Amino acid sequence: VQLQALEGGSVQAGGSLRLLCSVSGRTVGSYAIGWARQVPGKERELVGGVNWSGDTSWYADSVKGRFAISRDNAKNTAYLQMNSLKPEDTAVYYCAARTGTTELSYWYDSWGQGTQVTVSS
């Protein structure tokens, strides 16, 4: 399975952005989706994930209440809605999948290319 995070960009603090995760290639059964971010010189940070049906999700404390993950399996697309953005949210954002599961996951076996998000103060 191949993934690509799309539609990053620049926004002022307090603003919103919605990232897309396009999933393509041979998909076998179901998969959980996760989102992560990375700042140069720091470890990649998982920010949240959603199960196959989209009815269960989890979020890191740093984004809880501001970010929301959803998915449209018919379109093989997942979304990361980011509200009330802060300068510290600036990072490259990645989407990921854990294949062969319908459950919520905290680790992933397929990673896509990232997209830059820049939040200015």
Answer whether residue 28 shows pLDDT above 80. Answer: no
Encode pLDDT of 33-77 as tens digits: 999 999 999 999 999 999 999 999 999 999 999 999 999 999 999
The pLDDT of residue 25 is 81
The pLDDT of residue 27 is 59
- Residue 30's nearest CA partner among 51, 9, 7, 55 is 51
Q: What is the spatial distance between Cα 73 and Cα 43, in angstroms, rounded to a whole number? A: 30
Encode pLDDT of 1-22 as tens digits: 889 888 889 999 999 999 999 9
DSSP structure string for 49-62: EE-TTSS-EEE-TT
